[in-house]
Amino acid sequence: MSMPTQEEIYKTEGDKYEALIAREDYQGNILKALTEITDLQNRLVLDLGAGTGRLTCLLAPYVHSIRAFDISEEMLRVCREKLSKTSLSNWKIDIADHRQLLIEDDSANLVVSGWSVSYLAVWNKETWHDELEKWLTEMKRVLAPSSYIVLFESLGTGNEAPIQLEKLKDFYAWLDEVGFQNKIIRTDYKFESIQEAEELSRFFFGDELGDKVVKNNWVILPECTGVWWLKI
């Protein structure tokens, strides 16, 4: 039986994916990084590629409103379930492509996206530059002046020091080219047990990382993450 691809996981494995994501960033560095870039109060936020709602659920208590978008109904099902269990009412969830959001011009003032916009480059090997340009044009349409875009992207899972992933090299270079600033944070996973660490890392990242988890006895799985931001 072949391993499901990450694309297949996003379409069919929402609950298991959420089990993994719930373990990430146990030190709370994502929220800290965001608040260092911009004030969250009164923000009208768009979360692109929201998945099971990691950033949406993190930000919803602090912002005026948040809209979560993803192309996967399965991911958004989990996101909706999580938000429905809270007392918050300032959120909305829709299926949408990053390059075509069904919202009005100048209707938001913060875009966040975690581990997602890069797929425009990874999944469109021939046209990646055009797809990223389309996305940035759409961001400039939906965001009011003096708004921020903040992106989170991997710089290596199972790495203590940041590395540039081969499949994302064009994406990293493009972000620099269009003026994004960046910094590096750790978003380590903390699992309940070595068994859970092995199972969930093998499920999403594959056997190479699963084997590394076992070899290093990693209940805490190191992960380096880049934070890129642009004021537009």
CATH code for the domain of 141: 3.40.50.150
pLDDT at 168: 95
pLDDT at 226: 98
Is residue 136 situated within a structural domain? Answer: yes
Is residue 217 situated within a structural domain? Answer: no
Is residue 218 situated within a structural domain? Answer: no
Expressed as residue numbers, the domain containing 35 is 6-191+223-231
Is residue 1 situated within a structural domain? Answer: no
Is residue 84 situated within a structural domain? Answer: yes
Is residue 111 situated within a structural domain? Answer: yes
pTM: 0.95
Strand runs (DSSP E) across the chain, as ranges?
A: 44-48, 65-70, 91-95, 108-114, 143-157, 181-186, 189-190, 220-221, 223-231
**Number of domains the chain is built from:** 1
Is residue 211 situated within a structural domain? Answer: no
Residues 178, 164: Cα–Cα separation, whole Å: 18
pLDDT values of the chain reduced to their tens digit, one per residue, 232 residues: 466 788 788 788 989 999 999 999 999 999 999 999 999 999 999 999 999 999 999 999 999 999 999 999 999 999 999 999 999 999 999 999 999 999 999 999 999 999 999 999 999 999 999 999 999 999 999 999 999 999 999 999 999 999 999 999 999 999 999 999 999 999 999 999 999 999 999 999 999 999 999 999 999 999 999 999 999 9
Is residue 149 situated within a structural domain? Answer: yes
Q: Which of 159, 183, 193 has its CA nearest to residue 30?
A: 183
pLDDT at 2: 60
